[in-house]
């Protein structure tokens, strides 16, 4: 009786080569599932289509070229940092004025107010035309209600800013469709 049970049980099990094929098929499916492409993160910069990209790069003055370079490199290094209203550190995130203050405080040893309107009221040369901007200039945007946004011009028609809730610090064309229409002026603090 015991012998019959063993024989019946042995016939109920699949053979070893069949088990290996199933195991191999399972491993292949598992690896295929694990190798699917991850979701792409939001792009923090886009290829430039700025009409200003072919203008020669300019610094505010020869005396401040090093500081202007520090400002622009610090600004570009922060691209991708999360936006946070009222934020002013890389670990806590940035809003637009907190970003500009952080850049100038760390790269140029200048303390700026934490409001785009107050920054616009600071002493400094106003730059009315986008074509006259120099690396490191503050750039102000707004509409009928006055100034509502600030960023740092980094040259070649691009600026770094913290645009909105839920986004990240970005590098954008200053003469892109939205920004061109809302540009008010630049402010040169490094001369």
Cα separations in angstroms, 119 against 5, 8, 30, 64: 89, 87, 56, 20
| Residue 114 appears among annotated catalytic residues | no
Distance (Å, whole) CA 100 – CA 157: 18
User: Within the chain, where are the H helices?
Assistant: 2-12, 16-34, 65-77, 96-107, 116-120, 177-182
| Residue 11 appears among annotated catalytic residues | no
Q: Which of the residues 34, 49, 114, 161 is marked catalytic?
A: 161
Residues in Cβ contact with 110 at an 8 Å cutoff, skipping those fewer than 6 apart: 104, 189
Phi first, then psi, for residue 169 (nearest 5°) are -60, 130
Q: Which of the residues 11, 34, 49, 96 is marked catalytic?
A: 96
Read off the tokens for 170.
């970005």
CA 189 remoteness from chain centre = 24
Distance (Å, whole) CA 171 – CA 76: 7
What is the DSSP code (8-state) at residue 138?
A: E
Phi first, then psi, for residue 136 (nearest 5°) are 95, -10
Q: Which of the residues 34, 49, 114, 149 is marked catalytic?
A: 149
Element (H, E) at 104: helix 96-107
Catalytic residue annotation: 96, 149, 161
């Amino acid at each position: 009786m015991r012998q019959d049970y063993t024989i019946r049980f042995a016939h109920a099990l699949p053979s070893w080569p069949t088990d290996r094929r199933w195991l191999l098929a399972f491993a292949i499916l598992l690896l295929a599932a694990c190798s699917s492409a991850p979701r792409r993160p939001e792009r923090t910069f886009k290829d430039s289509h700025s009409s200003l990209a072919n203008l020669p790069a300019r610094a505010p003055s020869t005396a401040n070229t090093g500081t202007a370079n520090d400002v622009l490199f610090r600004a570009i290094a922060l691209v991708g940092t999360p936006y946070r209203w009222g934020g002013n550190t890389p670990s806590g995130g940035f809003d637009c004025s907190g970003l500009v203050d952080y850049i100038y405080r760390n790269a140029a040893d200048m303390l700026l107010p934490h409001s785009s309107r107050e920054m616009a009221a600071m002493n400094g040369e106003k730059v009315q035309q986008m074509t006259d901007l120099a690396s490191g200039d503050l750039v102000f945007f707004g509409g009928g209600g006055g100034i509502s946004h600030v960023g740092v011009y980094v040259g070649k028609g691009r600026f770094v800013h913290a645009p909105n809730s839920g986004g990240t610090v970005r590098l954008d064309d200053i003469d892109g469709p939205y920004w061109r229409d809302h540009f008010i002026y630049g402010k040169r603090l490094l001369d």
